[in-house]
C-alpha cells in the first residue's frame, strides 16, 4: 500500500485519498472548496449563471447526445423513480393540472379544482353523458 502525507493536515493517507498530482488530501481540498464557496457565494453564483448563459447551446447539445446514447438507462431510472415515488408524482401531476387549468381558463384555484372534479365525475360516467353536454352548451364546462 502506497501512502502520502497531506500538506494541509499532515496526516499520512493512502494515495487513493489524493487527487491526481495533488499534495492535499480530498478531505482537506473539499473543506477548502466549501469554505471558499461560503465566503464568495454571490461571485460563484454569478460566474455559474454567466457560464450557463454563454454555453447554453453547447450544454443542450451535450444533454441531447447523452440522452440519445443512454435512452435505456434513463428510461429504467425514470420507471424506478416513478414506482418509488407514486404519491409524490401524483401530487405533482395534480398541482400541475390545477395550474394549467387556472392559466388556460383564467379562473381561481378553487374554481379550477371544482372544474377538474366535475370533469372527472362526468368522465367516469362515459363520453355520452347528456348532463355533461348540457353543461358544455351552457358554457359552464
User: pLDDT by residue (tens digit) across 55-68?
Assistant: 999 999 999 999 99
**Residue 41: band (very low, low, confident or very high) from pLDDT cuts 50, 70, 90:** very high
Q: Quick one: 7 and 48 in the same domain?
A: no
Domain shared by 134 and 99, yes or no:
yes
Same domain, 34 and 46: no
Using 50, 70 and 90 to split pLDDT, how confident is the model at 127?
low
In this prediction, residue 1 carries a pLDDT of: 79
Backbone region of residue 37 per phi and psi (left: phi > 0; alpha: psi in -120 to 50; beta: other values): alpha
Cβ-Cβ contacts under 8 Å for 89 (sequence gap 6 or more): 82
Q: Give me the pLDDT at residue 138, please.
A: 65
Question: Is residue 100 domain-shared with residue 126, that is, in the same domain?
Answer: yes
**Which range of residues forms the domain containing residue 23?**
3-39
Beta strand ranges found along 3-129 (DSSP E): 3-5, 12-14
The pLDDT confidence band at residue 136, using thresholds 50, 70 and 90, is low
Counting the structural domains of the chain, the total is: 3
Looking at the structure, tell me whether residues 71 and 50 fall in a common domain.
yes
CB neighbour burial string for 30-54, b if at least 16 within 10 angstroms, e if fewer: eeeeeeeeeeeeeeeeeeeeeeeee
Are 126 and 112 in a shared domain?
yes
Question: 91 with 80, same domain?
Answer: no
The pLDDT of residue 6 is 93
- Whether residues 46 and 80 share a domain: the answer is yes
More confident call, 32 vs 138:
32
CA atoms of 56 and 69, how far apart (whole Å): 20
Amino acid at each position: 500500500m502506497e501512502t502520502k502525507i497531506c500538506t494541509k493536515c499532515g496526516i499520512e493517507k493512502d494515495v487513493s485519498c489524493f487527487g491526481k498530482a495533488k499534495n492535499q488530501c480530498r478531505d482537506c481540498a473539499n473543506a477548502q472548496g466549501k469554505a471558499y464557496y461560503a465566503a464568495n457565494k454571490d461571485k460563484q453564483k454569478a460566474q455559474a449563471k454567466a457560464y450557463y448563459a454563454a454555453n447554453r447551446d453547447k450544454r443542450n447539445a451535450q444533454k441531447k447526445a447523452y440522452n440519445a446514447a443512454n435512452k435505456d438507462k434513463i428510461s429504467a431510472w425514470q420507471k424506478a423513480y416513478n414506482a418509488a415515488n407514486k404519491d409524490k408524482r401524483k401530487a405533482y401531476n395534480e398541482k400541475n393540472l390545477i395550474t394549467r387549468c387556472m392559466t388556460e381558463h383564467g379562473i381561481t384555484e378553487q374554481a379550477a379544482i371544482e372544474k377538474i372534479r366535475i370533469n372527472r365525475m362526468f368522465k367516469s360516467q362515459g363520453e355520452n353523458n347528456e348532463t355533461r353536454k348540457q353543461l358544455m352548451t351552457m358554457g359552464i364546462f
